């Protein structure tokens, strides 16, 4: 029995070492990617359903590693949160997205609002608001054209500090969105306490719209709830015209999704702007 355990232990050790190596490799690579500007932002348009025009865009991280290939953000963001790189990534994304939005707006005479995803870990860091002020000053972006998306998860261990931070950001003119709404564990009670401007209804609910009646009831209830709380609504992951129609019918203000456009490279988004705003 003793030697058995010994074997098991060795097996365990080997697995651990392997996991450790992978971890270290990924951490080194992500660190390098950040330092050498190998991360890239793609932008997905947000559409105003009243006017059918682009009112802004969400910045989404892309990481291509020559050896590892494309690594999706769903995989490396949680990793970055664990290994402590997430704050540096957040600062980089914010700076990059604000500079790009400023450039697009100036060269095409627009007022598009850029949305940036910020990790709950990062936003809870002291000095976050000052950092954001620094980015605003450095890029010259109008803070009214900046939106910060935080996931519902952030609300889970909400503190007075977090509410304070959100209030300070809003006082600067920044829009705060609650991302992935409906998927977390937050009670409706949190919604009342959290000073957000926008609810982003998760794709999981949009997908359920058609043909299920109960799906429509859910969406309709979520939109009503948002409006009752004076919040705007964005539906995420709209892929079908039928989904769009239901959302429109129930008064959803904004949509994002493949139906209109996938997240686009800077070059492709520039083309989309030119195509959409010149006639
Ligand atoms: P998210 O913030 O909920 O972003 C929406 C995700 O849905 C994006 O995946 C987007 O490409 C995808 N999507 C958009 N429209 C559709 C659609 O019609 N159908 C389907 N099936 N998917 C659609 P992506 O880019 O892979 O990002 C995944 C997640 O990674 C994001 O979810 C966000 O939580 C995180 N993430 C991405 N970029 C950043 C970043 O810069 N910072 C942080 N902290 N997190 C990020
Ligand atoms: Ca988001
Ligand atoms: Ca989302
Ligand atoms: Ca998500």
Reported for 25-34, long-range contacts at CB under 8 A and 24+ positions apart, including other chains, are: 26/76, 26/79, 27/79, 27/83, 27/85, 29/65, 29/67, 29/68, 30/63, 30/76, 30/79, 30/80, 30/83, 30/85, 31/85, 33/63, 33/65, 34/85, 34/88, 34/89, 34/92
3-state helix, strand, coil in the chain (%, to 5): 55, 20, 25
pLDDT digits (tens, 9 = 90+) for 4-21: 555 665 656 666 677 777
Question: CB of 93 closer than 6 A to ligand 1?
Answer: yes
Residue owning tokens 């365990």: 12
CB of 180 closer than 6 A to ligand 1?
Answer: yes
pLDDT digit string, tens, across residues 82-134: 999 999 999 999 999 999 999 999 999 999 999 999 999 999 999 999 999 99
d(CA 253, CA 147): 16
56 lines ligand 1 (CB under 6 A): no
Global pTM reads 0.92
pLDDT, tens digit, 9 for 90 and up, residues 154-203: 666 667 888 999 999 999 999 999 998 888 766 677 787 788 999 999 99
pLDDT number for residue 186: 62
Structure tokens belonging to residue 130: 């000052």
Minimum-distance ligand 1 atom for the alpha carbon of 238: 18
Cα 149 to ligand 3 centroid, rounded to whole Å? 8
Q: How high is the ipTM of this complex?
A: 0.98
């Amino acid at each position: 029995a003793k030697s058995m355990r010994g074997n098991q232990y060795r097996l365990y050790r080997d697995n651990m070492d392997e996991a450790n190596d992978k971890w270290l490799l990924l951490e080194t690579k992500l660190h390098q990617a950040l330092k050498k500007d190998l991360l890239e932002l793609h932008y997905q348009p947000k559409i105003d359903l009243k006017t059918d025009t682009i009112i802004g865009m969400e910045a989404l991280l892309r990481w291509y590693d020559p050896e590892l290939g494309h690594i999706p953000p769903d995989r490396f963001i949680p990793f970055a949160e664990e290994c402590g790189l997430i704050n540096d990534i957040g600062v980089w994304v914010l700076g990059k997205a604000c500079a790009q939005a400023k450039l697009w707006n100036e060269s095409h005479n627009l007022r598009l609002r850029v949305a940036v995803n910020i990790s709950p870990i990062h936003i809870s860091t002291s000095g976050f608001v000052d950092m954001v002020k620094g980015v605003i000053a450095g890029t010259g972006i109008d803070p009214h054209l900046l939106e910060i998306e935080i996931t519902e998860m952030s609300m889970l261990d909400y503190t007075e500090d977090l509410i304070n931070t959100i209030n300070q950001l809003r006082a600067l003119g920044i829009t705060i969105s609650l991302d992935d709404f409906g998927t977390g564990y937050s009670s409706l009670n949190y919604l009342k306490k959290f000073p957000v401007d926008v609810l982003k209804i998760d794709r999981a609910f949009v997908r359920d719209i058609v043909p299920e009646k109960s799906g429509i009831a859910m969406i309709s209830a979520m939109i009503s709830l948002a409006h009752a709380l004076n919040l705007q609504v964005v539906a995420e992951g709209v892929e079908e015209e039928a989904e769009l129609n239901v959302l429109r019918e129930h008064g959803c203000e904004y949509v994002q999704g493949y139906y209109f456009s996938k997240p686009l490279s800077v070059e492709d988004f520039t083309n989309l702007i030119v195509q959409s705003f010149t006639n």
